[in-house]
Amino acid sequence: MHLAVLTGGGDVPGLNPAIKAIVTEATARGWTVTGFRRGWAGPLNYNPNDPDGSSDWIAGLRPSVVRHIDRTGGTVLHTTRTNPSNVRRAELPAFLEPNYPMPDGTESVDCTAHVLAVLSTLKIDVLIAIGGDDTLSYAARLHDEGVPTMCIPKTMDNDVFGTDYCIGFSTCVNRSVDFINRLRTPAGSHERFLVVEMFGRNSGESALITGYLADVDRTLIAEVPVDIDKVARLLSEDRARNSSNYAIVVVSEGASLKGGDVIESGEADAFGHRKLGGIGPTVGNALKSRTGVDVMVQNLAYLVRAGNPDAMDLMVGRNFGTMAVQLIADGKTGLMTAIQDGRYTTEPADISTRGARSVDVQSMYDAEAYRPRIAEVSGMPMFLK
């Protein structure tokens, strides 16, 4: 049996333990494992007619190569957001240009036929894709094209539909809580408002859970538009009640002020994603102008997905990798590994395309008080997803 594995989308801690587990379990069964490098850009750029010139796009994975990778964050296979069904001009490898002409006005081409040819040439029996929505949706597409695939979900934001947990979420929360608790020292010493901005374009879950566990004063999430006048009043009260005379608000990147828009800045990137950013300073300026209280703004940004995985992401990363190989050994493919009802289980490979995860405001958020509130703990999942 010959497996291929790749990682796509933003990196998170926990990818390397998954890769290591796949290699370890596959090797124990006498199988071989090839890594595609840089997500779907790997098979896209592999030229079957020039294996030597393509060596930068694949990697032979043996136990000795992966022995210590689980201790570090990121992905040794590297990653991109490339999607072979939607290849833009700048992404198209030169050797494919004759096959995929792009007349003026063409935005992108679908290079799936090439990808299928590569998998065939390399004699890949099963392809394991580790990624978020974008990455996994193309794996589902390949499965529809007849390629046996397995999907493993990861995202810092825990927003892949079909699973209660994605690799990277716990580390993100652990880091964020730790940072916020450290930031209490300057916020308190200066008696200011502290605005902590966190990534989270569509889902406020990472902000919500972080705000809950760090027990900050208020948490603004993507799902609930913000009445900034009210928040300014609430924070002023919070600050007055705090014997150290400061208050903290966590803001999700995707949050928006009532009557305003999501705060975007900069140009759209190649994938049409504009950098949101900006909500932290926007909230900070609005608080300062309404209250006169000085404000510190800290964007946690990449720091919450940098460095080594915590125990939970070691656990889920390793188990998802092991499970993928165990399933393949049982003859099963076309699945996404998942956690539901607190247990490891599987869903169809395309499950992530069937819906979107977001915070259940009703059960987890007090939209009047702008903070998490668990209406009834009993019956909730352990990590409140």
Provide the annotated active-site residues: 157
159: left (phi over 0), alpha (psi -120 to 50) or beta: alpha
Binding-site member from 34, 54, 79, 219 for a copy of itself (CB under 8 A): 79
CA 112 to chain centre: 24
b/e per residue 94-119 (b: at least 16 CB within 10 A) = ebbeeebeeeeeeeebebbebbbebb
Binding-site member from 134, 159, 164, 205 for a copy of itself (CB under 8 A): 164
The Cα–Cα gap between 199 and 12 comes to: 13
State which of positions 21-40 bind a copy of itself (CB under 8 A): 38
331: left (phi over 0), alpha (psi -120 to 50) or beta: left
188 scored as a contact of a copy of itself (CB under 8 A): yes
Q: How distant, in Å, are the alpha carbons of 75, 92, 146, 170, 223 from that of 97?
A: 29, 7, 25, 42, 43
b/e per residue 238-250 (b: at least 16 CB within 10 A) = bbeeeeeebbbbb
Least Å distance, CB 22 to a copy of itself, is 12
Binding-site member from 75, 149, 219, 252 for a copy of itself (CB under 8 A): 75
112 versus 299: smaller Cβ distance to a copy of itself: 299
First to last CA, the chain: 36
The Cα–Cα gap between 69 and 21 comes to: 10
14 versus 254: smaller Cβ distance to a copy of itself: 14
Quickly count: other Cβ atoms within 10 Å of residue 274's Cβ: 13
203 scored as a contact of a copy of itself (CB under 8 A): no
188 versus 348: smaller Cβ distance to a copy of itself: 188
State which of positions 281-320 bind a copy of itself (CB under 8 A): 285, 294, 296-299, 301-303, 305-308, 310-312, 314-316, 318-320
State which of positions 227-266 bind a copy of itself (CB under 8 A): 242-245, 266
Q: How distant, in Å, are the alpha carbons of 72, 166, 382 from that of 309?
A: 7, 13, 20
Least Å distance, CB 355 to a copy of itself, is 20
Residue with tokens 């993100």: 172
Least Å distance, CB 64 to a copy of itself, is 7
Binding-site member from 32, 72, 291, 358 for a copy of itself (CB under 8 A): 72
Least Å distance, CB 164 to a copy of itself, is 7
122 scored as a contact of a copy of itself (CB under 8 A): no
Binding-site member from 179, 202, 353, 358 for a copy of itself (CB under 8 A): 179
Least Å distance, CB 309 to a copy of itself, is 9
Give how many residues touch a copy of itself by CB under 8 A: 89
